[in-house]
Structure 1
Amino acid sequence: MKCNFTPGYKKNALYLGAVACVSLSHIVPAFAQTEVLVQSGRLEQKQFDAPASIYAIDAQAIRNSGPQVNLSDVLAQAPGVVALNRNNYAQDVQISIRGFGARSAFGMRGIRLITDGIPATMPDGQGQTSTVSMTSADRMEVLTGPLALLYGNAAGGVIQAFTREAGDTPEAQVSMYAGSFGMTRTDWQISQRSGNVGMVVDYSTFAIEGYRTNSDTRRQQLNSVITVDAKPDTRFKFIINVFDMPYAKDALGLKAADVSQTPSAAGANATSTRTRKTVKQEQTGVVMEHTVDSDLKLQGRLYGGNRTNLQFQSTDKWVGLDRQFEGMGLQATGKSQVFGNQRMNWVVGIDLDHAAELREGGTASKGEKATTNPNNARNELNEARNRDIFAQANWSLGEKYTLTTGARQSNVTLKSTDYLPSNPDNGTGSVDYKATSPVIGLTWHALENLNLYANHGRGFETPTMSEAAYAGKDAAIFKEKFNFDLLASTSRHLEVGSKWLPSSSSRVDAAWFHIDTDNELVAAYVSPSAKTSYANVAKTKRDGFEVALRNQYTPHWRSQASASFIKATYEAGPSNGNMIPSIPKQQLFTSLQWSEKGFSPAGQKPALGLEAGLDLISRSSMWANDANTTTASDYALAPGFAQLNARIRQRYQIGNARVESFIGVDNITNNASISSVLVNQSTQKYFEPGLPRSWMIGFSSQIPL
């Protein structure tokens, strides 16, 4: 075995370093390839045969990420995904896929998030990742490319999380973590099966004082999944999720000069105005699956919930959002014989979703609502609704080819009703967006261990309710009114990829993509109070290449790596030729892992004994504004960085209890970094610093009941 390490840095950029290992004789067949089933578009399919870029993350990878708080810790390993941990729980992690979602100032845009079959993204395309319960997750899937368009509006990519189901043996689990900057994390979990009913109940807490001033956070979450096998051919899954964040203080962004001098400081006025956010969300849902026969299955889902959000800003203003949301979906999945003996798998369905958000705002004083006329700025109801139908078919064309076809007809309505009588231009009205998103692809099963595929699709993305909340392209005409003039952006996606199994213990996935968009939304004006209005003024182009490698050298040693290369530019408008902000050109994740007793197959409990891992995460520089400015007064380039993280676990068996201890160190070399950027921040306070060297220790126990 010959291994070479190739590092490389230069100012404002990063030449990605990597560990490259090439076998000069043979690869030890330490494990057989597992046939992982994933959601390939709207059809379940073996991951290796899926004509799309799909990255699966199992339960062990989720647990190895650390205390399982930030989704970015797990998604960093998925190619094509930029997962930026702000270390600011008032704004959530920032996630983009192939550049979609990069403009988000908070929460998630342009990406569909689904948990246990229930949408966590609203009809307008906005969502929050913090409500995903990582402590009880069994696996996650990341779908990128044209097949993601079959999920509708804002499907730059699809992230799905699945809660584990109860095993045959009743079990209790307890986990506790502590770490740098006052971090504590606890998790209490019970799973039990009684007859045809299985139950998993998970309750977790998280608290941190924070590295930066004014970044203290407290939150807790309950996630429960109950499965009922009513009949041999009928199953119900009931989901209950409650997320409560009493407060998350907001440290705000810093200018480039301030980051280099005092990265732990809070932004201007953060402490005096007590900038913070309070969030509470409750959601319930049910998914029904019924097997008619071996060739036809039916599925239905019904869900509803509410979310309240109260934020105090540095400009002595407050914004309150009270959202009610609900939806349903029906689909039929079947198998047929066409053109003689050719096989076809197909699915047809309908999605109906609705969200109504009461938006209020007013004057604050030292982090509290003003006692006089608190609703003097805003009081309106914003609504988003979609009524979509979709279909997909995978056609088997002999033994060598599979044709994938699909389409989604989307109808999205945004509506606003202003309740503020003093507003003469009240922004009451509605706008409809309609689009058809077709997808077509072809897979060539060239060899038993090699698949090549190409697919093409057309998608669209409406403005979110937050992006349409303000109107006006400059200070003179800027208004706090709903903007009905925004158009939906349209996109054309082309992807060519390969999936190769060089041996029973290794795998290489690669994909090249090209994406053009029209009517891309960009920031038209950012007010001094950080309120942003948007406009359709740009075309964009995204060209990229992604690769993911996994290899197990012996039963005790394995590695994985993923790399992404993307050039994302504006092709029209005032920023023509500039790079799209918050998208690094290069990104790399590599991991080397060792297990004393050998790694267990996916789906089985990890072996007892000692386990260790070393991860390298690196990212090139990225811009923080559309103008790509580098003047002294407006420096908007976040430099690249590389970071080493280490994990060590020891598993014991004490009587009936399975006990695990954990220690982790992030940023071993204590490199300075920018973890996230605030895109187009009006006062050039773009940067949120990454954490210095930090540690965590943990303990968990699994006890049969």
Structure 2
Amino acid sequence: MHRPTFLLPFCFILCALFFVPKTYGQQRADSITSLDEVILLEQFIKKKAIGITPSSSLGTKDLEQYSPIDFANGLNEITGLYVLSGALNTNRITIRGVGARTPFGTDKLRMYFNGIPVTNGTGVSAIEAYDFENMGRIEVVKGPKGTSLGANLGGAILLNTKAPEVGTTFLNNTFTLGSYHMVKDNLSFRHSEQGFNLNLSYNHLQTNGFRQNNSFERNGLLLTSSVKLYPKGKLDFLVNHIGYSAEIPSAINATDFREDPRRAAANWLAARGFERNAYTLAGVSHSHFFKNGFKATTGIFYTYLDHYEPRPFNILDEFTNGFGFRSVLEGKLGQGDLTLGTELYRDEYNWSTFENEFRDNNGNGSLQGNQISDNKEFRSQWNFFATYTLAITKRLTAQGGLAWNTTRFDFRDLFNQGTDNTSATRDFDPIVLPSLGLAYTVKKGSLFANIGRGFSNPGLEETLTPDGVINPEIEQEKGVNLEFGGEFTWFADRLHMGITAYQMNIKDLLVAERLDQDQFIGRNAGQTRHQGIELDLRYHQKLGANWLLSPRFGYSFSNHTFIDFVDGDNDFSGNALAGVPRHRLNSGITLRKADKFVIHLTHQFVDAMLLNDANTLSSDAFNVYNFLSRYHFTLSKQLGIGLHVGINNLFNLNYAQSVLVNARGFNGAEPRFFYPGNARNFFAGVRLNYML
């Protein structure tokens, strides 16, 4: 099983060595016009990160290398970012080790959807609320250098829907069937003309899942539109609604993972645990171009989440109303470019818990019993930011940034009365977040360096004690990130290399300590040092008139350690940070014939991950290979048909696609560390495109 470990990296190196000398000698003879049109066009879409802020991005063709429901592997192409996916509804994104200690979900970064902040009041982002078949570009800013994007320690993820093609009107439907009774359909209507565009998409997904108690069903609707109001102004509209129901198999122990990874955790299976969500995002923004070259964009938005989740230990019933605005002014000031902006996010989180009487329900799963708690929390964040970018010489550009953040939590206990009432407020001190970046152009590319300060707010479990009282001692995490690197192209732009080295020191590390199945307490516990290197290589080689071979290679090295971490009687100072693979490799080979036929072979290597702070337990390293092929042909000027077929986990490996750090066993049971990845599975589908 371990023989093919480095097959694809070896193929990449072999292809580069074989083709590069030949290509170099033919630079002037070969036209690369078709290469740009087929492969590189998406790289020239205007990035959203302001100025010279480094970012990584994925375009439509990058995402189409994978199954239409496998967004985790797509995002894992980005070096330094790792998605631990326990299920379609259970995902945790870590960037350079930040967020690795979060028990469930994604936090410590900021996420935007078409420019609208969609991270909630305690910093949680739900990547599963979006259908990736609707995405045209995903951009990632790693670390707190994104001054205008929240300056969170983990960075920012920018999701952007497909851009309109002026002068086109068409219907597009992509239908896919797969293993585990998977059915997915994405139907979209797109119309674009000068001054107006409209995109309406409906998506449906259902699957029984690989494991017990693992079914998932989702329906979604996305509407985007842009209207030119007058020569210097336009309005943009966005409505995204997702409703889904997902059974929860939860993590399993080492014995079950080894003997039968399809098992669900026994208590979750007995309770038939699941979650049901309805999520709505609506926003409108106005852009105006002034005569002096400045542009002002102001948007307002509203979010609503209704969540119901029966767990073995209780039943959670919650809903959240959120609203806010973001306003940005940008233009030329003096010899440089100025950006000023502000962002407000405020939400009202309501949650209640009830006893789960599934043990008295004759094997029929969860049964709601008496109410245990009733709570409300108002959460607000203000961000102000400014950046100024100045070309010092023809080759050297500098960018300074300054952000200011204030956060407030107002907790209301609506269940207990008198002295038992735990209502309280918590105002965090305002925090100032400076940044400085430099970019220097060289003959075959560019060099960059930047330094920035960032922060992370505590999550809900960390702000409250197990008794439901606001924790007055908790502080925000704060850190300073320093990085430098470069991007280079050689051989007539056929070979692209990017390399980055970074160090981030974080103090007041937030730790969510698990006391019971449903009880956590947050505290600040020392400092961590995050060091790493990220390397990206991409190569494009023509094979005849219409064929193109494109190998790629991405490598992440992570050296993340506790500088100072004492937990009770245990001193973990000097230990490695758990939940982060030290080495990670993502590679692939694409063979394409124009836009007619394409084959993708992709590979991911993930090193062993430590499972606890004592560094005494770890998961196994693994290699996973995936295959996908697409074929497109036209029946007429109006009708085009595409076929796709794929295989995930080619060698049927049993591997942990996600792990739970510092899991504990209760009542004598083994701790449950592992979320198994799917066994070998297949999918196939058809895409119809009809031009109106």
| SS across alignment from 2:525 | strand
**1:253-292 → structure 2 map (5 Å cutoff):** 253-292=251-290
**CA deviation vs aligned residue, 1:341-360 (integer Å, no higher than 9, x gap):** xx311100111110110021
| SS across alignment from 1:467 | helix
Match of 2:196 in 1: 197
**Aligned residues of 1:200 and 1:226 also touching (Cα < 8 A):** yes
Q: Mean alpha-carbon deviation: is it higher for 555-564 or for 218-227?
A: 555-564
**Equivalent residue letter for 2:508:** N
Match of 1:214 in 2: 213
**Equivalent residue letter for 1:594:** L
**Aligned residues of 1:513 and 1:545 also touching (Cα < 8 A):** yes
| SS across alignment from 2:180 | helix
What displacement does 1:17 show? Answer: 7.2
Match of 1:603 in 2: none
Match of 2:100 in 1: 102
What displacement does 1:64 show? Answer: 2.6
Match of 1:19 in 2: 12
Match of 1:590 in 2: 587
1:570 aligns with 2:562: yes
Task: State the alpha-carbon separation in 2 of the partners of residues 466 and 528 from structure 1.
Answer: 12
**Aligned residues of 1:540 and 1:570 also touching (Cα < 8 A):** yes
1:351 aligns with 2:347: no
**Aligned residues of 1:430 and 1:484 also touching (Cα < 8 A):** no
**1:287-306 → structure 2 map (5 Å cutoff):** 287-293=285-291, 295-306=293-304
Task: Give the counterpart of 1:644 among 609, 615, 625.
Answer: 625
What displacement does 1:425 show? Answer: 4.2
1:444 aligns with 2:440: yes
1:80 aligns with 2:80: yes
**Equivalent residue letter for 1:585:** R
**Aligned residues of 1:614 and 1:644 also touching (Cα < 8 A):** yes
**Aligned residues of 2:425 and 2:470 also touching (Cα < 8 A):** no
Match of 2:648 in 1: 666
Task: State the alpha-carbon separation in 2 of the partners of residues 549 and 653 from structure 1.
Answer: 34
Match of 2:612 in 1: 625
1:93 aligns with 2:94: no
**Aligned residues of 1:201 and 1:222 also touching (Cα < 8 A):** yes
Match of 2:467 in 1: 479
What displacement does 1:535 show? Answer: 0.9
**Equivalent residue letter for 2:115:** G
Task: State the alpha-carbon separation in 1 of the partners of residues 533 and 629 from structure 2.
Answer: 33
What displacement does 1:123 show? Answer: 3.5
| SS across alignment from 2:261 | coil
Match of 2:663 in 1: 681
Task: State the alpha-carbon separation in 2 of the partners of residues 8 and 591 from structure 1.
Answer: 13
**1:318-329 → structure 2 map (5 Å cutoff):** 318-329=315-326
What displacement does 1:125 show? Answer: 1.3
Match of 2:533 in 1: 545
Task: State the alpha-carbon separation in 2 of the partners of residues 269 and 17 from structure 1.
Answer: 45
What displacement does 1:238 show? Answer: 0.3
1:693 aligns with 2:677: no
**Aligned residues of 1:146 and 1:495 also touching (Cα < 8 A):** no
**Aligned residues of 2:660 and 2:672 also touching (Cα < 8 A):** yes
What displacement does 1:703 show? Answer: 0.4
What displacement does 1:628 show? Answer: 2.5
Task: State the alpha-carbon separation in 1 of the partners of residues 266 and 473 from structure 2.
Answer: 34
Task: State the alpha-carbon separation in 1 of the partners of residues 382 and 643 from structure 2.
Answer: 49
Task: Give the counterpart of 1:332 among 312, 325, 329.
Answer: 329
**CA deviation vs aligned residue, 1:648-700 (integer Å, no higher than 9, x gap):** 11101012211101000111111221000122222210100111111111111
Q: Mean alpha-carbon deviation: is it higher for 221-230 or for 102-111?
A: 102-111
Match of 1:506 in 2: 495
| SS across alignment from 2:12 | strand
Q: Which runs of 5+ in 2 are unaligned?
A: 359-364, 567-571, 666-670
**Equivalent residue letter for 2:171:** A
**Equivalent residue letter for 1:405:** G
Match of 1:474 in 2: none
**CA deviation vs aligned residue, 1:317-372 (integer Å, no higher than 9, x gap):** 111221000000111101133xxxxx31110011111011002112012244434x
Task: State the alpha-carbon separation in 1 of the partners of residues 299 and 380 from structure 2.
Answer: 17
**Equivalent residue letter for 1:334:** G
**Aligned residues of 2:205 and 2:217 also touching (Cα < 8 A):** yes
Match of 1:64 in 2: 65
**Equivalent residue letter for 1:640:** A
**Equivalent residue letter for 1:389:** F
Match of 2:425 in 1: 430
Task: Give the counterpart of 2:409 among 411, 414, 417.
Answer: 414
Task: State the alpha-carbon separation in 1 of the partners of residues 330 and 200 from structure 2.
Answer: 30
**CA deviation vs aligned residue, 1:535-582 (integer Å, no higher than 9, x gap):** 101210110000111110115111222111111111212332222222
Q: RMSD of the alignment, in Å?
A: 2.2
Match of 2:117 in 1: 119
Match of 1:36 in 2: 44
What displacement does 1:422 show? Answer: 4.8
Match of 2:362 in 1: none
Q: Which runs of 5+ in 1 are unaligned?
A: 338-342, 472-477, 599-606, 631-636
**Aligned residues of 1:7 and 1:17 also touching (Cα < 8 A):** no
1:224 aligns with 2:205: no
Task: State the alpha-carbon separation in 1 of the partners of residues 389 and 151 from structure 2.
Answer: 22
Task: State the alpha-carbon separation in 2 of the partners of residues 399 and 480 from structure 1.
Answer: 58
Task: Give the 3 Å change call, closer, same or farther, for CA 284–8 of structure 1 in structure 2.
Answer: closer
| SS across alignment from 1:24 | helix
What displacement does 1:527 show? Answer: 2.9
| SS across alignment from 1:26 | helix
**Equivalent residue letter for 2:322:** F
**Aligned residues of 2:143 and 2:151 also touching (Cα < 8 A):** no
| SS across alignment from 2:99 | coil
Bigger proportion of residues as helix: 2
Task: State the alpha-carbon separation in 2 of the partners of residues 625 and 89 from structure 1.
Answer: 25
**Equivalent residue letter for 1:333:** E
**Aligned residues of 1:149 and 1:155 also touching (Cα < 8 A):** no
| SS across alignment from 1:324 | strand
Task: State the alpha-carbon separation in 1 of the partners of residues 454 and 316 from structure 2.
Answer: 32
**CA deviation vs aligned residue, 1:162-191 (integer Å, no higher than 9, x gap):** 112443221001111111111111111111
**CA deviation vs aligned residue, 1:113-157 (integer Å, no higher than 9, x gap):** 111011111243111111123122111111113422442263411
**Equivalent residue letter for 1:438:** P
**Equivalent residue letter for 1:380:** N
What displacement does 1:85 show? Answer: 2.0
Task: Give the 3 Å change call, closer, same or farther, for CA 405–521 of structure 1 in structure 2.
Answer: same
Task: State the alpha-carbon separation in 2 of the partners of residues 698 and 269 from structure 1.
Answer: 37
Task: State the alpha-carbon separation in 2 of the partners of residues 96 and 18 from structure 1.
Answer: 29
Match of 1:308 in 2: 306
Task: State the alpha-carbon separation in 2 of the partners of residues 196 and 444 from structure 1.
Answer: 38
Task: State the alpha-carbon separation in 2 of the partners of residues 310 and 454 from structure 1.
Answer: 46
**CA deviation vs aligned residue, 1:479-532 (integer Å, no higher than 9, x gap):** 2333232100110100011011113222111100001010011133x1332432
**CA deviation vs aligned residue, 1:291-313 (integer Å, no higher than 9, x gap):** 11362111111000210111111
Task: State the alpha-carbon separation in 1 of the partners of residues 333 and 45 from structure 2.
Answer: 20
What displacement does 1:284 show? Answer: 0.3
**Equivalent residue letter for 1:432:** D
**Aligned residues of 2:198 and 2:226 also touching (Cα < 8 A):** yes
Task: State the alpha-carbon separation in 2 of the partners of residues 482 and 381 from structure 1.
Answer: 12
Match of 2:603 in 1: 616
Report % sequence identity: 20
**Aligned residues of 1:378 and 1:420 also touching (Cα < 8 A):** yes
| SS across alignment from 2:129 | coil
> How high is the TM-score relative to the length of structure 2?
0.90
Task: State the alpha-carbon separation in 2 of the partners of residues 153 and 486 from structure 1.
Answer: 20
Task: State the alpha-carbon separation in 1 of the partners of residues 485 and 212 from structure 2.
Answer: 46
**Equivalent residue letter for 2:616:** T
| SS across alignment from 2:257 | helix
Task: State the alpha-carbon separation in 1 of the partners of residues 305 and 53 from structure 2.
Answer: 37
